[in-house]
Amino acid sequence: MAAEVEFQQVSKIYNKDTVVIPGIDLKLPRNELTVFVGPSGCGKSTLLKLIAGLEEVSDGKILIDGKDVTHSSPSQRGIAMVFQSYALYPHMSVYENMAFALKISKTGKDEIDAKIKKVAATLQLTEYLDRKPRQLSGGQRQRVAIGRALVRNPEVFLLDEPLSNLDAALRVDMRIEIAKIRENLNATMVYVTHDQVEAMTLADNIVVLRKGRVEQMGHPLEIYNNPVNKFVAGFLGSPSMNFINFTADETENDFCTLKGPGVLSNVKFKIKPNTLKSGDTACIGIRPEHIDVQKGLAGAELEFKTYAIENLGDHTLLYGHVGESPCVLKVDPYTKYSMDETLGLKIQKQHYHVFDTQDQNVGDSANHPKS
């Protein structure tokens, strides 16, 4: 049965003064896959180990299915974990690797055999059951590691950067495979990654972490379309969102116009009421694919100077500056652009964000498509 995982004011402090998690409240919904993302050192792996019980909380409570497991041992929590390095027992065959936990919990031989055969069949490992881990390829090892966790029928399934050791092509295959496994699995999954594609494609919920704090939690598209602040906005998406600095010129209740280097015309941006004053520095956030590019400046809103061009076949990336802010544009690959060309830009009106001096998103999200 899948279980809900809940953090109540959980903190983790190493050696009395290194604060990794300053105090977190978080509820991971039952039977859903939650992805923890964030830059390295944001505490995502620590959170996972706290759920697993491999690390002890410094303060606060962890509840699994409503039960306080803060001081329970890892094996009492009904949890299985897949490690970044797979951590297969090198001297045991695939079969023995999968049987290890079941043997310890004194499961009957026939039951162990039946469970392993079933899991091996779903993971296409049947013909490798007698092999040692060193005789397997990276992808097969990864599947064994997943299989070892699956045979235990966990309520909570933890994955710590499971695909980071695979090469790019295999990573795509395994990502799809994990998505498939997940469909037939009745478990709450927690997945740690720094790969935003994995986060976007696999997650029911994304939790964006920074310095041990939750910046935003929500459905992937919700976070992609309505980031609460500049950090979240810049973290998801590749190439990441452009941030163009400006000064608020005229502000009305829920509109502002901007001025600054590179700004050509007085376009009005919708903001939450009374969030910007005239003269405030702020920035516009806009994704590379949400900017219309034109040759020449007639009728354009921003002036863009190209300094590098990357043609990727299906699209072309133009690197350059608007005023002093670096800016990337995603354009069709058929129009010819040249270095040091000056181009005119228009911002698509449904897709921009406005960030204030505290980096909070003050753009009016009513403009944006809801997920």
For another protein, which stretch binds (CB under 8 A), given 78-86, 218-226, 290-298, 354-362? 78-86
As a 3-state breakdown, the chain gives helix, strand, coil percent values, each rounded to 5, of 25, 35, 40
- Contact in structure between 361 and 215 (CB atoms under 8 Å): no
Q: Does 80 bind another protein (CB under 8 A)?
A: yes
91 binds another protein (CB under 8 A): yes
User: Read out DSSP for 304-334?
Assistant: EEEEEEEE-SS-EEEEEEETTEEEEEEE-TT
Torsion angle in degrees (nearest 10) through CA of 101, 183, 83, 72: -60
Closer residue to another protein (CB): 83 or 319: 83
For residues 261 and 323, is the Cβ–Cβ distance under 8 A?
yes
x/- map, 120-159, another protein, by CB under 8 A: ----------------------------x---x-------
Please choose, from the candidates 168, 161, 223, the residue with its C-alpha nearest in 3D space to the C-alpha of residue 193: 161
Stretch that binds another protein, among 60-68, 73-81, 189-197, 243-251 (CB under 8 A): 73-81
Candidate list 74, 234, 237, 323; residue touching another protein; CB under 8 A: 74
Residues contacting 13, CB < 8 A, separation 6+: 19, 20, 58
264 is a contact residue toward another protein (CB under 8 A): no
Yes or no: say if 345 and 292 are a contact pair by the CB < 8 Å rule.
yes
Q: Among the candidate windows 86-94, 115-123, 173-181, 355-363, which touches another protein by CB under 8 A?
A: 86-94
Verify binding: residue 63, another protein, rule CB under 8 A: no
Distance CA 3, CA 269 (A): 44
**What number of chain residues touch another protein (CB under 8 A)?**
21
Please state, in angstroms and rounded to a whole number, the distance separating the CA atoms of residues 270 and 364: 6
Decide if residue 221 touches another protein (CB under 8 A). no
Regarding 81 and contact with another protein (CB under 8 A), the answer is: yes
Can residue 56 be called a binding residue for another protein (CB under 8 A)? no
Q: Given candidates 8, 83, 213, 321, which one binds another protein under the rule CB under 8 A? A: 83
Binding site for another protein (CB under 8 A): 52, 54, 74-75, 79-81, 83-85, 87-91, 100-101, 104-105, 148, 152
